[in-house]
Amino acid sequence: MNRPTQSVSAFAGMAVLGATLIWSYASLTTSHASNPSPVAESHQAMTTGSLPAAGFTEVAKSVTPAVVNITTSAAEQVSDSIHPRGRAEDFFGSPFAPRRFGPPVEPRERRGGGQGSGVIVTPDGYILTNNHVIDEAKTVTITLPDKREFKGQIVGSDPKSDIAVIKIDGRQLPAIPWGDSSRLQVGEYVLAVGNPFGLSSTVTLGIVSALGRGRMGITQYEDFIQTDAAINPGNSGGALVNTRGELIGINTAIFSQSGGYQGVGFAVPTSMSKPIYESLVKTGKVVRGYLGIGIQDLNQELAKSFSLKGTSGAVVTDLKEDGPAEKAGLKQGDVIVSFQGIPVEDAMTLQRAVTRSVVGSKAVVKVMRDGHEKDLSVAIGELPDNQQVAKTETGLSDQPLAGLAVQELDRETAQELGLKGKLQGVVVTNVDPESEAERAGLMPGDIIREINRKAVASMKDYDRVASNLKKGQNVLVLINRRGASLYLSAKV
C-alpha cells in the first residue's frame, strides 16, 4: 500500500477553505554559500534568469543517488467485509484492488503501511524525512536508487515540525550537503526530488514562490518554503535542493482542491530541520527555547490602546509563574518589539526566534511599556513537552461592553468552567446576538479581568470602571478564555 500523504486529515483541517492540505514527501535546503556549483552553466543561468542549455542535469545527477524510498509496515485490525484501504486510497481511490462484498466477518490483523521519501545527509547513513512518513511504523525499509536495501532504525521524531531521523548501517553512502535556507530568495530555481506514486528518482523543477509561510494548520511550528516545483503523494520526506545541489528543505505538504498537485507545495526549511536533526541525533529528543509567556498579534485598535504607531510586535497576554520571562521582569501588557536585536513583526516571528534559541543562553528583549522602550535580559528556558512557547490568538475589535451580561466569578462557577488556580474577574453569562459585544468576539464563559488596564476583580470593580467609559472611547479589555489570556480592543 502506498501511503504518501495524509490527505484525509488534511482535507478536514482545511474544509472551510474549500481545499485540502495533502502531506507529501520531499526535502529542501537553499543557499548561496561559497561552495562551488555542480554546474557552472547552471549557476550562470541563475544569475542571468535563463535556463541553461543542458538543463540541470549535473545537479540532478549529484542529488538523486541520495534520495531514498522509505517503506513502512504496521499491524492493524481490519474487516474483510469491505476491502481495507489506506488514507491515500480513501482519497484517490484504488483502481487496482478488487472490490469485496459479502457478510461481515471477524476482524483480522493485516500488515498496513506506507511509502515516502527520505534524504541521506551523512555518508554513514543518517536520513532525514517527515514524521508522518514513519509515524506508527513497526518496520522501516530503505531502498536506494541503486536498488540496495537496508533496514532502517528510527533515531527520533518531532511531530511538532513533522521531521524525523532514520539511521541505516552503511558506509560511504551518497549524501546531499546542507544548504543555508535563510539566504533563499523568492524567484530562485529549486528542484524537488522524491518518489511520487512510487516512481523513484523523480526530479521536478520550479521556483521559490514564497518564504516564511505559517498559520497553515499543518504543524505546530511552521516556517514553510512555498514552491511550485511539482510535489505529489510519495514525495513526502524528499529533498528540495538549490541550483548548487544543496539541501534547503524537506517537502512536506501540498495545497490542493483535487487531491493532486496544483502548483502549491510546502517544505520545511533547513534553518528549522537541521537543528532538529542535530538535536535528535545527539539526544534523541528536540530541545526548544522557552520564555513562559502567552502572546498575540497586534491590530490597529490594539496598537492605539498601547500607544504604538504601528502594528509590529507581540503583546504579552500571560506570564508563567516563575517562568523565564516573569523572572526577567516582563509584565502582562508589554509589547515585545525586538528579540536579540531582530525586529518582531508578529507573534509567530517571536515564536520562531525563541524556539530556535539555545537553552541557557541570555536574550535581550526590547519591550514597549506605557509608551516607553525597555530592554530586559532573559535567560532562555527549555520548553516542557506539554507546553507551547507562546499560545497566540487573534483578537477581534469593536465595542466589547454593549449587549453583555456578566456576574461575579465564584468558586462554583470557576469549577463549572474548569478553571484552576486563583483567578479573579467577572464571568460573561450572555452575549446578545448581533450586539457590539458579539462583534467584539466576547463569548459566554469569558472572564473579564481588566478594562483599560484597570483590574476587574469583582462586580463592584466592573460597574465602577464601566460607568466611567465615554462614548467613542477606545477600550482595552483583558479576558481569560479556557485558561488563555486575550486582549480585545474597541470603541465604546
How far is Cα 202 from Cα 261, in angstroms, rounded to an integer? 14
Distances (CA, A) of 139 to 1, 133, 153, 383, 466: 14, 12, 8, 31, 63
* Catalytically annotated residue among 7, 27, 161, 236: 236
Which residue in 453, 52, 450, 21 sits closest to 257, CA to CA?
A: 21
* Catalytically annotated residue among 24, 31, 132, 338: 132
Spatial neighbors of 50 by CB under 8 A, at least 6 apart, are: none
How far is Cα 145 from Cα 162, in angstroms, rounded to an integer? 24
Cell of 384: 516542557
How far is Cα 223 from Cα 297, in angstroms, rounded to an integer? 17
How far is Cα 120 from Cα 62, in angstroms, rounded to an integer? 12
Catalytic-residue membership of 162? yes
* Catalytically annotated residue among 162, 223, 334, 461: 162
Beta strand extents in 257-389 (DSSP E only): 265-269, 289-290, 293-297, 314-319, 335-339, 342-343, 362-369, 372-379, 381-382
φ/ψ of residue 411, rounded to 5: -65, -40
| Residue 311 CB coordination number (10 Å) | 15
Q: In this structure, are strands 293-297 and 392-393 parallel, antiparallel, or unpaired? A: parallel
Which residue in 321, 192, 168 sits closest to 247, CA to CA?
A: 192
Which residue in 390, 388, 343, 382 sits closest to 366, CA to CA?
A: 343
DSSP conformation class of 9: H
| Residue 483 CB coordination number (10 Å) | 15
- Rounded to 5 degrees, what angle do the CA atoms 126, 218, 347 make? 105
Distances (CA, A) of 417 to 84, 353, 481, 482: 42, 34, 10, 8
How far is Cα 194 from Cα 232, in angstroms, rounded to an integer? 9
Element (H, E) at 484: strand 484-491
Distances (CA, A) of 477 to 70, 160, 167, 296, 306: 52, 32, 52, 14, 12
How far is Cα 302 from Cα 314, in angstroms, rounded to an integer? 11
> Which residues are marked as active site?
132, 162, 236
